[in-house]
A and B are shown apart, each in its own frame.
Chain A
Amino acid sequence: MNAPVRPQETIPAPLALLAEVTHRCPLACAYCSNPLDLDRRSDELDTTGWLRVFEEAAALGVLHVHLSGGEPAARKDLAELVGGAARSGLYTNLITSGIGLDERRLDELVGAGLDHIQLSVQAAEEEAGDRFSGLSGSHRRKRDFAALVTARGLPLTINAVIHRGNIAQVEALAYEAIALGARRIEIAHAQYYGWALKNRDALLPSREAVMGMRATMARLMADTAGAIVIDYVPPDYFARYPKPCVHGWGRQSLNVTPRGKVLPCHAAESIPGLEFWTVREHALAEIWESSPAFNAFRGTGWMREPCASCARREVDFGGCRCQALMLTGDARNADPACTLSLHHGLVEKMAGAEPAAPPPTRRGYAAPA
């Protein structure tokens, strides 16, 4: 008798690549979701290594590459990286703080084929912006950089991460983005991984503030219609169902770390026991299809109840694996942000808690214990 044949699920081609080209960054935002153990410059993939990743990603079906970090401009070869990605046929998006990009470097990027820039902004005015970023003068430099971008006709998106310190200024942030000439603004609550998790008590806004923000956002979207497109991601701690994290594990996107490890999401390394493969040892297609980490939570076979029999199992894919692990101790559980989760009480408790905010720990290379 033949051995049982496991039905081969078709693995869809990925759509997006998040390329974390470096962890180096001139800013020190407390909400940073980079890991506590940051990759060092000497660990980083070199230019040739990244160009190979982009070529293989395009051949695999990736359409968008998001060059991120850290601050991608910390790499002197950034224009070469953009050029290589563009030549491979990828749509190139640079996610940057704008620090370290002067007129000359920006022109090089545009010449290399850069399609779009996403600029992080921490607040609507200089004092708070500099305080949240940890770099004096950064907000003014971001304003100057935005002017350079729009003068070149390059489409600009502002991204603003929301936390306890700036949640009351969300309207001012949107008007700041309009003043900077952005077409879009992404407003998203901090995701509590890496440094942000370490600083959660300093960053998590009160339930009242988050509820208040819902009404503010509805008004803001109506008031700014036509002037800017607002993409708002509500926090999942207060939602009924979890977010469809990365649109399902190993379904649409992959993330390459500065040292070349390939992750299904940027926080996947927080899950113990997963085996990640690196582009130094494997082709990207092989990693996408066969690496143990990508197959660990692909499809629905790994699910437990209440996910396994849930009608929404292919809508939200059980939510976020990293959050399930962080809050319930097991990555196979339903994301406790889901009201159907047996552990949902943990989220309710956390979202209701209002501890006094301690000072944040600034990111850096000497990872605190």
Chain B
Amino acid sequence: MTLSPDARPALARGVRLVEDRVRGGHQLLAPERALTPSKVAVEILGLCDGKRSFGALVDELASRFDADRALIESEAGAFLEELAGKGMVTL
């Protein structure tokens, strides 16, 4: 399944992306849980503001990374749908 370009992903209430000053990198914090997102994941999550459409998010990533748009769309979409399944992102 692919994520609709009209989806407006946002971090769910109670989920926060923070910089980890002690260990380096970032942490995605949720109730009773912390995930350590990769650098690319941090870029994706930083664009999930509930206003930007998924289509615009993919455009932005494609220009930032100078990478194939279709590949980004499928990978970022799968990533966000996985987090949505865990209740950490709303779509």
Contact = CB atoms under 8 A, between A and B. Distances in A.
Interface of A: 13, 15, 59-61, 63-64, 89, 91, 93, 115-116, 118, 153-155, 157, 183-184, 186, 229, 231
A115 B11 CA distance: 13
A63 B27 CA distance: 9
Contact of A155 (B12, B21, B27, B34): B12
A93 B31 CA distance: 7
B11 to A, nearest CB: 11
A60 B23 CA distance: 10
A15 B87 contact: no
Interface residues of B, number: 15
B1 to A, nearest CB: 16
Interface of B: 12-14, 16, 18, 20-23, 27, 29, 31-32, 34, 87
Contact of B13 (A59, A60, A155, A157): A155
Given A93-B31, A184-B31, A116 B23 contact: no
A116 B12 CA distance: 12
Contacts of A229: 87
A60 B21 CA distance: 9
A113 to B, nearest CB: 10
B26 to A, nearest CB: 11
A61 B31 contact: no
26 contacts: A59-B22, A61-B22, A61-B23, A63-B27, A63-B34, A64-B29, A64-B34, A89-B18, A89-B21, A91-B18, A91-B29, A93-B32, A115-B14, A115-B16, A115-B31, A116-B31, A154-B13, A154-B14, A155-B12, A155-B31, A157-B31, A157-B32, A183-B31, A183-B87, A184-B31, A231-B32
Contacts of B87: 183, 229
A93 to B, nearest CB: 6
A116 B18 contact: no
Of the listed residues B14, B21, B27, B87, the one surrounded by the most CB atoms of chain A closer than 10 A to its CB is B14
B90 to A, nearest CB: 11
A15 B27 CA distance: 11
A142 B63 CA distance: 50
A13 B23 contact: yes
A157 B34 CA distance: 16
B32 A64 contact: yes
A183 B13 CA distance: 11
Contacts of A60: 22
Contacts of A63: 18, 20, 27, 29, 34
B86 to A, nearest CB: 8
A116 to B, nearest CB: 4
A64 B28 CA distance: 11
Contacts of A154: 13-14
